[in-house]
Amino acid sequence: MKKIRIGIFGLGRGGSFYESITACGGEVVALCDKDEKKLSDAKGHCPEAECFTDFEEFIACPMDAVLLANYFTQHAEYAVRFLEKNINVLSECTSNVTMAQGVSLVRAAEKSKAIYMLAENYPFMKFNQEIKRVCDGGTLGKILYAEGEYNHPVDFYDGETCLALHTTQEHWRNYLPRTYYITHSLAPIMHATGSKPVRVTAMPVFSPLPEDCCFSRYVGDIAAIITTLNDDDSVFKLTGCSAFGAHGNSYRVCGTNGQIENLRGMDEKVMLRYNSWQIPEGMEEINCYEPEWHSEDAEEAENAGHGGGDYFVIKKFFNCIRNGEKPDFDVYFATRMASVAILGHRSLMEKGVPYDIPDFSREEDRAKYENDTLTPFVGKNGEAPTYPCCSRPDYVPTEKQRENFKKLIEKNN
């Protein structure tokens, strides 16, 4: 098996993959992060790897592939740089945060000899693999409807969590619209059903943060409820990153004959149900069970992060490189999800006005968005956002929230 030399850019999230890379026949040859402590810690896992704080030195290091785990808002520009050097790219989510970035990314991927794959891991959780297996088996009939919910509430008085998620007032998470972090809710149902969103509409759930908390965000929305019409006439209902109710991820797929869903609060159990007159041979009308791994490497998956998802992301990526295969989560899959996120937020800002989702495999669709650089985030050099991040554009952190956040930062510096 060919050893794949890989570099890791960004050692916060990137540091989660060391064991999976080794298990899948990879070798970490280069590490890059502006934080020297993270680099020092990483050397304990990858003693042979070269370490860099300078990106230009890092990209010049010989490698077959790179894992981009840098800031959420900066994946596309670095992906383009590596694709131009014909280095295979595994990019953390999301692929792009502006429509123009999506166009540039697709054009670079089409010109490159290298592979681009989105490092979306939630479709590979055990229950989501089971949902896809059942969908592929055809017993649900024609797929009509699916739901995806990624629910991640936090304690707004927890200073440790606040510092782990935000390092400055300008940090991207303080400006993150609720539709933008969409891949964990959307990718599993796209992957399971094969349906592609072609139209999106969204509505906000506005609930401002507590006046005296230590978080200091410019987004007062607690969730976005997003609906898509798909290329096969099915419909999805999903959230981006929501924060209501209890923590958890839930997915449901409904067909003409039955439905399957993972059960909220029940670990990895799924519920598979059929109409009483359409029960497949060997099944019950109601089937509640914990699925098994249908893979020879169950042990590696069990030991990996995100319910085994991190392991399968690396395995799929390396297999594509070795075999010259097209990834399931290729540049078109990735930019379609990003377009749902970006245009879904614009729909939300316009009280649910629907937007058509472009197909970036078509040059006419790319031309429409190649100059669309609207962004709700602060730029890398401090440039002001050019589009509101909250459904109520005048929403800002309170003076008390700013003061508490500033004290928290100062205390830990």
Q: What is the pLDDT of residues 102-152, one digit of tens each?
A: 999 999 999 999 999 999 999 999 999 999 999 999 999 999 999 999 999
Q: How far, in Å, CA of 207 to CA of 156, rounded?
A: 13
Give CA torsion, residues 370, 371, 373, 374, to 10 deg. -110
Residue 374 pLDDT class (50, 70, 90 cuts): very high
Tell me, rounded to whole angstroms, the distance of Cα 87 from its chain centroid.
Answer: 22
pLDDT for 140 equals 98
Residue 299 pLDDT class (50, 70, 90 cuts): confident
Q: What pTM was estimated for this model as a whole?
A: 0.96
Location of structure tokens 């050397």: 43
Q: How far, in Å, CA of 209 to CA of 221, rounded?
A: 9
pLDDT for 295 equals 77
Q: Tell me the average pLDDT across 160-165.
A: 93
Residue 294 pLDDT class (50, 70, 90 cuts): confident
For 346, residues 6+ apart whose C-beta sits below 8 A from its C-beta are: 353, 355, 387
Helix or strand or coil: residue 247?
Answer: coil
Q: How far, in Å, CA of 12 to CA of 70, rounded?
A: 8
Phi/psi of residue 341, each to 5°? -65, -50
pLDDT for 86 equals 98
pLDDT for 65 equals 98
Beta strands 248-255 and 143-151: pairing type?
Answer: antiparallel
pLDDT for 305 equals 62
Q: Tell me the average pLDDT across 48-67.
A: 97
pLDDT for 296 equals 75
Residue 331 pLDDT class (50, 70, 90 cuts): very high
Angstrom distances, CA of residue 351 to CA of 149, 186, 332, 355: 21, 21, 28, 12
- The answer to whether residue 368 scores a pLDDT higher than 80 is yes
Q: Tell me the average pLDDT across 392-413.
A: 94
Closest CA to 347 of 213, 232, 178: 178
Q: Tell me the average pLDDT across 289-298.
A: 85
Q: Tell me the average pLDDT across 263-286.
A: 94
What domains can you pick out in the chain, each with its CATH number? Answer: 4-118 (3.40.50.720), 122-369 (3.30.360.10)
Q: Which two tokens stand for residue 271?
A: 């519920």
Query: How many alpha carbons lie under 13 Å from residue 340 in its C-beta half-sphere?
Result: 31
In tens, the pLDDT along 225-234 reads: 999 999 999 9
Angstrom distances, CA of residue 214 to CA of 153, 393, 394: 15, 21, 20
Tell me, rounded to whole angstroms, the distance of Cα 272 from its chain centroid.
Answer: 26
Cα-only R_g, the chain: 21
Average pLDDT, the chain: 95
pLDDT for 163 equals 93
Q: How far, in Å, CA of 239 to CA of 151, rounded?
A: 8
pLDDT for 107 equals 98
Residue 306 pLDDT class (50, 70, 90 cuts): low
Percent of the chain with pLDDT over 90: 92
